[in-house]
Structure 1
Amino acid sequence: MKRLLPIALLLAACAPAVRPQPVQVWEGSARVLLTVQQYRLTFTVNPVNYALSGTLANLSSGDRFEATGTLLPGADAAELSVQITPGNVPRLNAGILGFGISGVALKSDAFLSGQVRGELFDGSLRVNGIRYPLTLRRVQ
C-alpha cells in the first residue's frame, strides 16, 4: 500500500488542471415584429469541444431562456449556433365542449446563429420560422 501512494501522487500531478471557463456577456438589440427588443447573451464555452451553455435574456420583456450550442473557431470569424429554449414555462391547457389544446408552451423555441468577429456578433434570431437580424457587442 505504501508503494502505491507515490505512484498515485505522480499520476495526479500529471493530470491536466481544471481551468475555470470565462463567462462571456454580449448585449444588443433586434427588431422583432414592430418593436426593438434588447437582449443579453451570457455563456461559457468548453475549450475542448467548443460546447456553449448559458442564457439569453430579453431585457425588454424580462424573459429568460436557456441557450445551448457551439462556438466554433474559424480563420476570419467564429461560428455561433445556439438553440434557445424557454425551459420550464407555464403551458396552456384549454378546451370548449370537448375540443381544445393541452400542453402548449406560452414561449417559443428559437435559434440564434451568426458570426463573431472580435467584439461583434452579427447574425439572426429565428423564432417560429421568421428570421430577425440581431447584433450583439461583447461587454465582458
Structure 2
Amino acid sequence: MKRLIPLALLLAACAPAARPQPVQVWEGSARVLLTVQAYRLTFTVNPVSYALSGTLANLSSGDRFEGTGTLLPSGDGAELSVQVTPGTVPRLNAGILGFGIGGVSLKADAFLSGQVKGDLFDGSLRVNGIRYPLTLRRVQ
C-alpha cells in the first residue's frame, strides 16, 4: 500500500492542469420591433468541446437571459450558435369561470446565431420566429 501512494502522486502530477476559461464580453444593438435595443453577451467557451455558456443581457430593458451553445471555428472566423432562455422568470397563471392558463412564461426563448470575425459578431437574434439583425463588438 505504501508503494501505491507515491505512484498515485506521480500520476496526479502528470494530469493536465485545468486552465481557466477566459470570459468574453460583447456589446451592440439590434432593432427589435420599432426600437433599438442594446445588448451585452457575456460567455466562456470550452477550448476542447467548443461548448459555450453565458448570459445575454438586454441593457435597454434590464432583462437577463441564460445562453448555451457553441462557438465553432470556421474558415477565418467562427460560427456562434446560442439557445437563449429566460431561466427562472415569473409565470402567468390566470383563469375565469374555471377556464384559464397556467405556467406561461412572460419572456420568450430566442436563438442567437451568426459569424465572428476578429472582434465583430454579425448575425441575428430570432425571437418567436422573427429574425432581428444583431451586431456586437468585443469589449473584453
TM above 0.5, yes or no, is: yes
Q: Distance in 2 between matches of 1:80 and 1:131?
A: 15
The equivalent residue for 2:74 is: 74
Deviates more, 1:73-82 or 1:49-58: 73-82
Which residue identity lines up with residue 26 of structure 2 in the other structure? W
The equivalent residue for 2:88 is: 88
The equivalent residue for 1:27 is: 27
The equivalent residue for 1:55 is: 55
Deviations 1:86-139 (A, max 9, x none): 000000011122222111000000000001000000000000000000000000
| DSSP 3-state at the match of 1:21 | coil
The equivalent residue for 2:43 is: 43
TM-score, normalising length: structure 1: 0.98
Deviates more, 1:60-69 or 1:89-98: 89-98
Query: How far is the alpha carbon of 1:10 from its aligned partner?
Result: 1.4
| DSSP 3-state at the match of 2:22 | coil
Q: Distance in 2 between matches of 1:23 and 1:135?
A: 19
Runs (4 or more) in structure 1 with deviation over 3 Å come to none
Task: Specify every segment of 5 or more residues in structure 2 that has no aligned partner in the other structure, as ranges.
Answer: none
| DSSP 3-state at the match of 2:116 | strand
The equivalent residue for 2:17 is: 17
The equivalent residue for 1:119 is: 119
Same amino acid, percent of matched pairs: 89
Query: How far is the alpha carbon of 1:34 from its aligned partner?
Result: 0.2
Deviations 1:40-77 (A, max 9, x none): 00000001100000000000000000010000011222
**CA RMSD, aligned part only?**
0.7
The equivalent residue for 1:135 is: 135
- Count of residue pairs brought into register by the alignment: 140
Query: How far is the alpha carbon of 1:29 from its aligned partner?
Result: 0.1
